[in-house]
Amino acid sequence: MKNKKLKIALFTPYEQTAPPPADVIRAPQELWAIIADELTQRGHNVTLFAPIGSKTKANLPKNNLPALAKDKEYKQLVKKDKTLGSVKLVRTIYNEIAFAKFINEFKKFDIVHAVFIPELIPIAAKERDYPVLFTFHDLLSYYKRMTLKLFSDAKHLHYNSISKAQQELFPNFNYDAVIYNGMDYKAQPFFKKDKGYLFFAGRMRKIKCPHIAIQVARKLDMRLLLAGEKYPDEQDYYDKEIEPFLSKKIKFIGMQPRKKMPKLYGQAKITLMPINAPESFGLVMTESMASGTPVIAFDKGSPKEIIKDGVTGYVVKNQKQMIKAAKKILSMKQNDYLAMRRACREYVEDTFSVERMVSGYENLYYKILNQHK
């Protein structure tokens, strides 16, 4: 079976193109574009079910749908909806429409692989016998887990997580594999020298805790750059916890285009990740380490798997420990710090490459298909 070239359908959320626009960061769409290209290069017949305007070496579906994010009414809704409740509902419905539109086409493929969207499980499960693999990216809320339980007896539905920590959150669920997210480290230059600032990349939300990064920078009396997106439903958090502390040393630089991120990571002394909720994977960590910059992250979810503690950064419990770990890095001799930067890069090359990720999925496809003979 392993020598057989497969017909593979890859399904992404239809909110953004795959890959997303340069000024938008959406991990699922970015990763699925990479996976589609690599699988195609390996000789598989791949169709990437992604919106009009997506760029891929794979096939794109006929009678395709546009990206929801380009819809004028949706854009207005995003601006008006302070809670984002209606935005999430519209997004869910649009993805269901997209999946339903192509569901009969999926019969033509050996396997369907979708970024996990739990609302679609009933559609996928009902009277279907071709295998469907769902990859978990986000945390599973209570209602999502209940949806899964309703269809747990569907033999042709399969699931993988992107970290062991993600599985630990829901130990009673049946997973087929753990496959870490990969990245194109060759497109991310390695930086030997830093410019002495701390860096935070992520959403300006309470669960990402940029305010703790600010407090750490203040305690260390260091420059800090905060890159990320503000959200209308947490504007109060930004106004109270971020805005008052901005200065010449502590700067909010907003959402940055993808092409600028490698330099921002690479010229930082340390990347801070003080998350307040379990992280499923965290591309920030691999992207930072690929550039040579060590990461200090709170021990919430996957960091203990992604960071080599003491080698490519530190995994800590709280703000006090984060400051202590930062001081440890800052006190290093130049040669030792450079060795840490090189270790960061080598670790990503060995563990989080695109090739390794896609091989993991390729092997899982064959395993699933052997079960469905």
The verdict on 143 and 212 lying in the same domain is no
What is the rounded CA–CA span in Å between residue 40 and residue 75? 34
165 in a structural domain: yes
Residues of the chain with pLDDT > 70: what percent? 97
The verdict on 158 and 48 lying in the same domain is yes
The verdict on 197 and 291 lying in the same domain is yes
Q: How far is CA 235 from CA 83, 84, 230, 243, in A?
A: 10, 12, 7, 10
What is the rounded CA–CA span in Å between residue 323 and residue 327? 6
* The pLDDT value given to residue 286: 97
Average pLDDT over residues 228-235: 88
- Sign for the pseudo-dihedral over CA of 49, 100, 281, 155: negative
308 in a structural domain: yes
The verdict on 290 and 302 lying in the same domain is yes
Boundaries of domain holding 301:
185-351
Q: What are phi and psi of 303, to 5 degrees?
A: -50, -35
Q: What is the average pLDDT score of the chain?
A: 92
Q: What angle do CA 121, 116, 35 make, to 5 degrees?
A: 130
223 in a structural domain: yes
The verdict on 143 and 120 lying in the same domain is yes
* The pLDDT value given to residue 219: 97
Q: What are phi and psi of 213, to 5 degrees?
A: -60, -40
Specify the DSSP element, H or E, that contains 178: strand 177-178
Residues of the chain with pLDDT > 90: what percent? 71
The verdict on 104 and 123 lying in the same domain is yes
1 in a structural domain: no
The verdict on 362 and 347 lying in the same domain is no
pLDDT greater than 70 at residue 142: no
- Which residues have CB under 8 Å from 217's CB, separation 6+? 198, 223, 224, 249, 250
What is the rounded CA–CA span in Å between residue 113 and residue 131? 9
Q: How many domains does the chain have?
A: 2
Helices marked H in 292-333:
303-306, 319-330
Of residues 7 and 277, the one with the higher pLDDT is 7
- CB-CB neighbours of 35 under 10 Å: 27
- Which residues have CB under 8 Å from 104's CB, separation 6+? none
* The pLDDT value given to residue 117: 76
Average pLDDT over residues 77-86: 84
Say if CB 124 and CB 104 are below 8 A apart. no
The verdict on 192 and 226 lying in the same domain is yes
pLDDT greater than 80 at residue 252: yes
Say if CB 15 and CB 69 are below 8 A apart. yes
pLDDT greater than 90 at residue 319: yes
The string of pLDDT tens digits covering residues 156-173 is 888 899 999 988 877 767
189 in a structural domain: yes
2 in a structural domain: no
The verdict on 134 and 200 lying in the same domain is no
The verdict on 334 and 209 lying in the same domain is yes
Question: Which CATH number fits the domain that encloses residue 34?
Answer: 3.40.50.2000
Q: If pLDDT is split at 50, 70 and 90, which confidence band does 143 have?
A: low
* The pLDDT value given to residue 124: 76
CA 328 to chain centre: 29
pLDDT greater than 90 at residue 241: yes
Euclidean distance between the first and final Cα of the chain, in Å?
10
The verdict on 168 and 212 lying in the same domain is no
The verdict on 288 and 338 lying in the same domain is yes
pLDDT greater than 90 at residue 11: yes
